[in-house]
């Protein structure tokens, strides 16, 4: 049997008792010997077997047998796992490292049983699925709205008639369908033409599977390498060699000045981008002048807006936090 160990506490492992002594095995015992000793003692001190034993019996009664069974179970739980047994042996050999034993004991007991990697992967997949279907819903809402606008609906209907798609919906004889079915099919044809002819940009654009979170995480190393290569190319061409900016480079600098994302900048009209290029907004001084002009124009629009006038009048006369007896 192992030598008595100092520093044992009631809240760690087997408390003041040595787990090897509880099972009656040595510290060199194998897993099979520990399991065999546990089964023998568990059958002997199982609560069901000692339920009717009086308190003054040989075993000390049912309550004592129950406590003994819990102690045996705790000793077996400690020694059956290799890592836990290694920590326990270290505690027996180094009882003075009190806080280290506490940390290892409770870190193993309170550690999550499920692998954190699996939890993160499942969470990312769930977010990606929700993100993809949410984008599809927004895209369908945009298509339904465009199908209800007379301008786009008339153009789509004219294209469908030129392609002979609407004539196929009107059939006679046995294959004749109800007006409701024909109307639904015509609606789907118009929506398909709008999807093919109109390029929706911005937040309502057609979702792509590479834009969801899962693929963004998987392709992050590729994007980082691509950005580093592009950044080195930019410094070499325009900083070291001093080449002139092309159209794409000019639009990129303008977008950075405006602090807009790529999707937001792509949603702008072509004539707006042409105006940016004509005014040479990739030059910082020209952009500052343009920015001040836009701010002045916005102030004029707000000054002429009737709702803004009412708001300013309300803030001047009443405003929040003032004592008033007006019911409305």
**pLDDT tens digits for range 68-106:** 888 888 888 888 888 888 888 888 888 777 778 777 777
- Same domain membership, residue 133 and residue 185: yes
Q: Which of 207, 223, 255 is the last residue of a domain?
A: 207
- Check residue 292 and give its pLDDT: 92
- Same domain membership, residue 80 and residue 46: yes
Q: Is residue 286 part of a domain?
A: yes
- Give the pLDDT band (50/70/90) at residue 233: very high
- Give the pLDDT band (50/70/90) at residue 222: very high
With tokens 């059958």, the residue in question is: 43
- Same domain membership, residue 124 and residue 102: no
CB 25: neighbour CB atoms within 10 A? 20
- Same domain membership, residue 122 and residue 106: no
Q: Is residue 23 part of a domain?
A: yes
- Same domain membership, residue 92 and residue 124: no
Q: Is residue 212 part of a domain?
A: no
CB-count exposure of residue 45 (10 Å: 0-12, 13-18, 19+): buried
- Same domain membership, residue 131 and residue 65: no
- Give the pLDDT band (50/70/90) at residue 260: confident
pTM over 0.85: no
CATH number at residue 56: 1.10.287.110
- Give the pLDDT band (50/70/90) at residue 3: very low
- Same domain membership, residue 56 and residue 90: yes
Residue 36 clears pLDDT 70, i.e. is over it: yes
- Same domain membership, residue 125 and residue 58: no
272 versus 58: the higher-pLDDT residue is: 272
Question: What does the DSSP 8-state code read for residue 328?
Answer: -
- Same domain membership, residue 138 and residue 79: no
Q: Which of 32, 64, 31, 26 minimizes the C-alpha distance to 47?
A: 64
What is the total count of domains within the chain?
3
Q: Which domain holds residue 137?
A: 117-168+178-207
């Amino acid at each position: 049997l192992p030598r008595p160990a100092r520093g044992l506490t009631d809240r760690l492992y087997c408390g003041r008792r040595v787990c090897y002594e509880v099972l009656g095995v040595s510290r060199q015992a194998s897993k099979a010997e520990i399991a065999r000793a546990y089964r023998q003692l568990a059958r002997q001190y199982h609560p069901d077997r000692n339920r009717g034993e009086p308190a003054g019996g040989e075993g000390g009664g049912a309550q004592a047998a129950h406590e003994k069974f819990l102690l045996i179970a705790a000793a077996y739980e400690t020694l059956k796992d290799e890592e836990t047994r290694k920590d326990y042996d270290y505690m027996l050999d180094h009882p003075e490292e009190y806080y280290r034993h506490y940390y290892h004991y409770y870190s193993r007991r309170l550690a999550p049983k499920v692998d954190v990697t699996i939890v993160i992967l499942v969470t990312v997949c769930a977010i990606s699925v929700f993100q993809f279907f949410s984008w599809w819903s927004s895209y369908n809402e945009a298509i339904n709205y465009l199908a209800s606008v007379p301008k786009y609906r008339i153009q789509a209907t004219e294209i469908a008639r030129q392609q002979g798609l609407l004539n196929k919906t009107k059939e006679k004889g046995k294959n004749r369908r109800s007006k409701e079915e024909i109307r639904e099919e015509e609606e789907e044809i118009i929506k398909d033409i709008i999807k093919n002819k109109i390029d929706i940009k911005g937040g309502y654009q057609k979702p792509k599977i590479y834009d969801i979170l899962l693929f963004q995480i998987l392709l992050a190393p590729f994007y980082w390498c691509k950005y580093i290569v592009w950044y080195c190319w930019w410094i070499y061409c325009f900083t070291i060699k001093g080449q002139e900016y092309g159209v794409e480079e000019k639009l990129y600098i303008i977008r950075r000045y405006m602090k807009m994302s790529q999707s937001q900048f792509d949603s702008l009209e072509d004539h707006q981008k042409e105006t940016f290029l004509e005014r040479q907004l990739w030059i910082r001084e020209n952009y500052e002048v343009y920015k001040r002009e836009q701010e002045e124009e916005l102030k004029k629009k707000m000054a002429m807006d009737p709702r803004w006038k009412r708001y300013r009048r309300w803030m001047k006369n009443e405003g929040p936090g003032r004592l008033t007896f007006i019911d409305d």
